[in-house]
Structure 1
Amino acid sequence: MHARVVATAAAAALGTATLFSPTSDARAGEVGKPLVIAHRGASAYAPENTLAAIDKAAKLGFSWVENDVQRTKDGRLVVLHDDSLRRTTNVEKVFPDRAPWKVKDFTAAEIARLDAGSWFSPAYAGVRVPTLEQYMRRVEHNHEKLLLEIKNPELYPGIEQQILKLLGNEGWLDRRHLERLIVQSFSAASVRTVHELKPALTTAFLGKPPVTQLQRYARFADLVNPSYGSVSTGYVASVHDLDGPHGRPLRVFAWTVNDAATARKLAGYGADGLISNKPDVVRAALVAD
């Protein structure tokens, strides 16, 4: 276990901002309840990873949203979950001869031509895949907070540095914004790289490391974020028993929780956050519990 005194002193020496606290968000529900994060925006109600989805989350009263970041052929960062454009755009119609329609094989200008809303509902026809710049500006406009996932970093060498540069250019690496930002990935190497490049930033590992390996992850990750089906009371307690790189107990955000019964169960396990396509359903369950 990390020595909390030592870790806290190290964090102070780095001049880190006051790190985010799950229970400090007034919109999370009652004090002591898990934070509710809108997964890819309010993605049950608007096309995922679009400006419309984070606008919908804001209208529902949620300040934390989650997104996914990938890179285009010409080096632009875009907000999209899959490494292919096929599922959530009309790329097959616009570029029928470009299978398998990988994000990395298209320029940002080509992607900007695609309809990223009609697949979800005719009401969202014409919605576009946002660049990360566009996305960050809308998050700022909405006064939201962001759980940013680096998607498929093995496909995009150097994407960690590029994302941090863009976040800095957009003003998201100052003391005030660091309290509103978490960067996560399924790649431990990617999370470690982000932590080494920007030690003040809150970071999260997506997945469920064995309990015997948690101390290693605690050197570079502030949160461990597993699938909800893999979580137990004992696992959450094991995570909480360790301090992360900023001298705070590790936290657990579970994904993807979309129904009341699961939300209550995970809250009972002691999860600090629940990532949901239906954040309003989860919030109602937690408030009523």
Structure 2
Amino acid sequence: MHARAVAVTTTALLGVALLAPLSHARAAHGGDADGPLVVAHRGASGYAPENTLAAVDKAAELGVRWVENDVQRTRDGELVVLHDDNLRRTTDVEEVFPDRAPWKVQDFTAAEIARLDAGSWFGAEYAGARVPTLKQYVDRVEHNHQKLLLELKNPQLYPGIERETLKVLANEGWLDRPHVAGRLIVQSFSADSVRTVHELKPAVKTGFLGTPPVSELPEYAKFTDQINPSYGTLSASYAASVHAFKGPHGRRMEVFTWTVNDADTARKVAAYDVDGIISNRPDVVREAVRETVDSTGR
């Protein structure tokens, strides 16, 4: 452990100098040859209502291979794709069910949620879009030949959601070797939830959302393949510290950062040698990263 700690410190210092070209790092660790992976946050949510099938399709239209989503559970045990733990912000639930405040997801059945309009708040052209079930969502991602970064949202509200999510993924064919090898990552802000996913299905790639202290990274490396911090908490030295460890699958731990929506920030975090950038506007980030690679040769 002492030797590993020394390696972390050394690598963190050297990381500021960006020793390895980005193209080489991506090729060696499963990313794109021209820079970090770009992930459409809640689908291409800068252009279509978040976490809807329309947002998945918009990401596909933009040529974005990875989409991110959020999973919650209804009162009757259906897994649905929604960011908030209540329905107010992105649906017309207050109009449809005016007497059901505070409109928590866990207080509504799947059939009730299926009645809600999840698109009009974003724009009239999306009127009638629905909150998809996890099954509907992964089926659309599959149809579009895309890849999925799935977030277990608020797992403390939904005991057992890890096992239930893995069951849906298995039923829809997402836990076979091709998907597990390169098309699926499960992440959460809860270390316990990430650890549970790893224990239940060790082959699945996992990510922890947050910026744990470097001193705690050896423990995280036992059950997560990624450390995924907000870009505001990220530095080149921190990314290098994460990269100094091998995760539970014996590969270098990765860093996916969020939520980057402008070109300047995209170029900044790309220079930190991150492995992925999560964005509401993935086309903007992709173009900025490509320009950086073209100009630097990295």
TM-score, normalised with respect to structure 2? 0.88
Equivalent residue number for residue 35 of structure 1:
37
Partners of 2:78 and 2:3 in 1: CA distance: 41
Partner of 1:204: 207
CA contact (8 A) 1:114 1:128 kept: yes
Secondary structure of the structure 2 residue equivalent to 1:269: coil
Q: Distance in 2 between matches of 1:54 and 1:22?
A: 28
CA distance in 1, matches of 2:65, 2:148: 8
User: Paired residue for 1:97, among 79, 99, 117?
Assistant: 99
Structure 2 CA distance for partners of 1:139 and 1:61, relative to 1, 3 Å? same
Tell me by how many angstroms 1:3 deviates.
10
Q: Is the 8 A contact 1:22 1:34 kept in 2?
A: no
Residue equivalent to 1:252: 255
Q: How does 1:1-289 map to 2 (within 5 A)?
A: 23=26, 31-178=33-180, 179-289=182-292
Q: Is the 8 A contact 1:195 1:201 kept in 2?
A: yes
CA distance in 1 between counterparts of 2:187 and 2:48 reads 23
Superposed displacement of residue 284, structure 1 = 0.8
Shift of 1:2: 11
Unaligned runs of 5+ in 2: 5-23, 293-298
**Superposed structure 1 runs of 4+ greater than 2 Å apart:** 1-4, 21-25
In structure 2, what residue type is equivalent to 1:250?
M
Quote the Cα distance in structure 1 between the aligned partners of 2:3 and 2:258. 29
Shift of 1:23: 3.1
Deviation per CA, 1:165-190, whole angstroms, max 9, x where unpaired? 11101010010111200000000000
- Equivalents in 2 of 1:114, 1:140: separation in Å? 25
Q: Deviations over 1:232-265 (max 9, x none)?
A: 0110000000000000010000000000000000
Q: Does the 8 Å contact 1:258/1:276 carry over to 2?
A: yes
- 1:32 positional shift: 4.8
Residue type at the aligned position of 2:252: P
**How far has the Cα of 1:270 moved from its partner?**
1.1
Unmatched 5+ stretches in structure 1: 5-20
Quote the Cα distance in structure 2 between the aligned partners of 1:51 and 1:2. Answer: 48
1:288 to partner: Cα distance = 1.1
Matches of 2:144 and 2:249 in 1, distance apart? Answer: 28
Query: CA separation in 2, counterparts of 1:81 and 1:43?
Result: 12
Give the TM-score of the pair, scaled to structure 1.
Answer: 0.91
Aligned equivalent of 2:10? none
Q: Deviations over 1:116-167 (max 9, x none)?
A: 0000000100000000010011010000000000000000000000000111
- Does structure 1 retain, via aligned residues, the 8 Å contact 2:34–2:290? no
